[in-house]
Structure 1
Amino acid sequence: MKKYISFLVLMFFSSLASYCQSIATSPYSLFGLGSLYESNFGITSALGAAGIALPSDDFINNKNAASLVDIPANNFFFEVGGTGIQSSFQSNLKTENRNNVQFSHFAFAFPITKKSAFSVAMMPYSSSSFKVSGLKIPIIDGSNEYYYLDVIGTGGLNNLDLSYAYKFGNKLSLAFSASVLFGNTTDERTYSISNSVTSIDKKVSYTGIRPILSSQFKMSPSLTFGLNVKSPVGVNASKTQSVTVINDFGTMNLETDKVSDTDDFYLPLDIGFGVNKSFSKKLNVTFDYEKSFWSATNQSDMYGSFTDQEKFSFGLSYLKAKTSRNYFDRIKFAAGAHYDSGYLMVSNNKIDDKNFSVGVSLPLDHLSSALFISYTYGSKGKITNSLIQENYHKLTLNLNLDGVWFVRRKEE
């Protein structure tokens, strides 16, 4: 049964990987590096994205690498995930629906010694996939004169994450991670004002490495605290650009595939704190708070400014009996809520994101192999003269396969 289900799910994810190009289809991915994508492994997508203080005893917890020391000895975890999103975009004038399905991540993790563990993960970091037509923008704030913008954008950054964790005593574990960021974004922009049309086709390539320090402290078997510190770092950028102007005097090619340096993109200092509490080994409550100091990067987008970002995540899970012979007793149920204040200020409005989620963990064997299924409903932004509201439904499937390595067979 496990092999049959695993094969079907892996085939499904493989078809997504070959079919889809972008994890997000949103007008808000117009800004910065695009929409920042938060990968949620295992059951964390059903917990409102909370997990900084969760252990990695039955899945790879990418929210805090220090949890990797909880992977059972001789066990090897492999996880692959996929996401489907149905979005509705509402403005003062119209409503538009879009669908997108995407392979989202794969990862593997295993203990090295009794006190240390290692993991590798590949996932999106950001996604720029949008089409905006006839966006009316004032030439100067407060002006009655406008220009019109049409944009088509694709691309995004990938994140190759390498993590090493070590356990000190029975309570404290620390981890160091290196997030290797790479990728490119492309957009075709057309600016129209009076009788002049300017077209700019641009491709920007990015590379960078971001260090991350993580820790977990087990106050007791039922209470754990977690901490993440992500270093501020500059992501190196270079661009290739073509510029064409069409007006009453004809067509002028101002630039053709010109390669040049461009402003690097700066990621802020991120600090995250989490607490996880279990009751009677059945009910689990987890909470995360994260803050990103975007204001300190001293950068801005053409259409908005960067502002400090806060995230609040809360999750509940219930498991009747992990080792029961009754299959339904081993199904874990979860629910959560999440609020993200956003890091962009556009027209004096923050682009915030709020959602709630539910999900289950379906065991595939008596180890830790499981299929995690979650549903999330949320909304982003608000309806104003210059902004839209994005309502979305998201279905997430994560498959974790657990194998036992290097165990000597007993001979009778």
Structure 2
Amino acid sequence: MKNTVFLLTFVLVSLTSFSQSISSSPYSLYGVGSLYDADFGSISSIGSSGMALPSTSFINNLNPASLGFMPLNHFMLDVGGKAIGTTYEGSKKTEKRNNFQFSHIAFAFPVTKNSGFSVALRPYSSASYKISNLVLPISDSMESYSLTAAGSGGLNNFDFSYGYRFGDKLTVGASAALLFGNIEDQRYLVVSNSITTIEKKTDYNGLRATIGSQYKIDSTFTIAATFKLPAQIKGSKVQSVSTIADEVSTTVESNVSSDVDDYYMPLEIGVGISKRFKNVLNMTLDYEKSLWKDTNQSDSYGTFVNQDRFALGFTYFDANRNMRKYWDRIQYSAGANFDTGYLEIDGKRVNNASISVGISLPIENTFSALNISYSYGQKGTVSNNLIKENYHKVSVNLSLDGIWFVKRKIE
């Protein structure tokens, strides 16, 4: 009973924190904001890899097929958050910002001995930016204009996943995600002696499906694949526009509602492996290709390009040790991640590279664990008047496991 009350209390606290989550990045000006990495369990400590890991002791959000390996009578809950300190480095000055972000809340349970189901709520993208006096060229002209912008909001991802296991080796799974949210944006454009103010709120909503598979070649080696299908995210906006020229103010639009160009999610293809060595060290390696260029969409300030992501992780846990000793049950992890990015600005890719280390502290004698990881990374570049982000990130995930629907043998 105490465990149940604790779980419910943690859920309520996490849902409250979810509405307050903020991610700051000047690159969230583009599209629907910067894409969010919400990693469950210890995945953040292994470079966000793990597509081939089964959901035997935690909820694996990277592949719905992993749910086919869920143990019977186990109810799992996963919640997490991040603390991020970022230094923004430009060609002339630097700036530091710190923030805390809610990462996710999810629960999963087995449906049959060969299948499992999960529900998860997490941010999909986050837009939180303040940009002052950014000079940009005017298309088909030798002139330029100055942009000052501020925005907030982003999209949320609410998904349902199901995985089924055929025999002892093959699992397949699928998930359906509802993407929804809004972005509030205010921009000031200065051209010569004219100032244009644009205030708008854009609402987005759409559905996206993912299918995946895992195959156990043997007890130490698993391969996996995922396919995130293309999706169309519809948008509508309410906008006000005013101008000031020669000290004369003119209202062009006042709270005018209209549709905006749909936002297109690309086909994303991923493959991964998980290999265990001598029952002590586990390696995970993932590769994912996102075909953003095929969406044929563009942004006013950048171009969408195909994206490649590489993730590598190592986990140390000696299963041969005495599991009665607490320190012998601790898991240690490290990883690296490189992402070429899906935006190209003035011919420069906005890529991202990071390294991570982590520790998983067991709770009681179940699969419950407190996962703590640290990551250091760099995003973007200083060249071409762009901004480079150097960030330190501490992720804390609580993975709780409860054994339900088992009749006590001793009262």
When normalised by structure 1's length, the TM-score is 0.95
Name 1:366's counterpart in structure 2. Answer: 365
Aligned to 2:385, the other structure's residue is in SS state coil
- Residue 24 of structure 1 and its aligned partner are, at CA, apart by 1.4
Instruction: Determine if the alignment matches structure 1 residue 233 to structure 2 residue 244.
Output: no
* Structure 1 residues 376 and 411: alpha-carbon distance in aligned structure 2, compared to 1, 3 A threshold: closer
Distance 2:21 2:410 in 1: 52
**Percent of aligned pairs with the same amino acid:** 51
Name the CA shift for 1:130/1:13 in 2 (closer, same or farther; >3 Å): farther
How many Å apart are 1:84 and its aligned residue?
0.7
Q: Secondary structure at the match of 2:383?
A: coil
Quote the offset at 1:44 in angstroms: 0.5
Q: Measure the CA separation in 1 of the matches of 2:296 and 2:349.
A: 17
Partner secondary structure for residue 68 of structure 2: helix
Q: Is the 8 A contact 1:196 1:245 kept in 2?
A: yes
RMSD of aligned residue pairs (Cα, Å): 2.1
Name the counterpart of 2:213: 215
Match of 2:325 in 1: 326
- Following superposition of structure 1 onto structure 2, how do residues 59-98 of structure 1 map, counting pairs within 5 Å? 59-98=58-97
Over 3 Å counting, the alpha-carbon distance change for 1:392 and 1:326 in structure 2 is same
What are the equivalent positions in structure 2 for 1:241-260 lying under 5 Å apart? 241-248=239-246, 250-260=248-258
Aligned-residue offset at 1:136: 1.1
Q: Which runs of 5+ in 2 are unaligned?
A: none
Aligned to 2:109: 110
CA contact (8 A) 2:11 2:105 kept: no
C-alpha separation between the residues in 2 aligned to 1:398 and 1:25? 21
Q: Aligned residue for 1:177? A: 175
> What is the letter of the counterpart of residue 395 of structure 2?
T
Secondary structure class of the residue paired with 1:185: strand
Give 1:12 shift.
12
CA distance in 1, matches of 2:21, 2:243: 30
Match for 1:159 among 157, 160, 171? 157
> 2-side partners of 1:181 and 1:234: how far apart?
10
Which residue of structure 1 aligns with residue 123 of structure 2? 124
Query: Once the 2 structures are TM-superposed, how far is the Cα of residue 16 of structure 1 from its aligned partner?
Result: 9.3
Question: Separation in 1 of the partners of 2:18 and 2:234?
Answer: 29
Change (3 A) 1:375 1:411: closer
Matches for 1:23-38 after TM superposition, within 5 Å: 23-38=22-37
SS of aligned partner of 2:293 = helix
Q: Cα deviations across residues 42-76 of structure 1 (Å, max 9, x unaligned)?
A: 01000000010011111100011111122211000
Q: Aligned partner of 2:181: which letter?
A: G
> Within 2, Cα distance between the matches of 1:239 and 1:290?
33
Give the direction of change, closer, same or farther, for the CA distance of 1:16–1:384 in structure 2 (3 Å limit). Answer: farther
| Number of aligned residue pairs | 408
Task: Quote how far apart the aligned CAs of 1:104 are.
Answer: 1.3
Aligned to 2:186: 188
Say which SS state the counterpart of residue 199 (structure 1) adopts: strand
Q: Relative to structure 2, which stretch is displaced further, 155-164 or 68-77?
A: 68-77
Query: Residue 40 of structure 1: CA displacement?
Result: 0.5
Match of 1:168 in 2: 166
Inter-CA distance 403–333: structure 2 relative to 1 (3 Å threshold): same
Give the TM-score, by structure 2 length.
0.95
Gaps of 5+ in 1: none
| Aligned partner letter, 2:253 | E
Contact 1:323 1:366 survives alignment (8 Å): no
